[in-house]
Amino acid sequence: MPSDSDSECEGETDRAAFLRDIAEDVRGDSSESEQLAAILYRVSDLYDPDEETTVPEIYRNVQNILEIKERGGLPERDG
């Protein structure tokens, strides 16, 4: 019988996979869909037991994603 921590870890792994599946579904040709997918991937890292990230790190990353969008994108890719 799996312990509570095992099922919790499995649940979080499932949640990370679910968020990443959604990110793949919404990713498209528009910059907005790419931006949303990037944010979903960053949030999914919080639930991935193989990732060592914190809520403040994800918050800063999401802020950075939004600032890049506000500036018009990445110059080497979108310029």
User: What are the pLDDT digits (tens) for 19-42?
Assistant: 999 999 999 888 889 899 999 999
Q: What is the mean pLDDT of the chain?
A: 84
Question: What does pTM read for this prediction?
Answer: 0.73
Please count the structural domains in the chain. Answer: 1
Query: What tokens appear for 53 in the block?
Result: 């990230």
CA pair distance 63, 2, nearest whole angstrom: 38
Query: Does residue 18 or residue 70 have the better pLDDT?
Result: 18
Residue 70: which domain range? 4-78
CA pair distance 67, 73, nearest whole angstrom: 9
Closest CA to 70 of 31, 26, 29, 37: 31
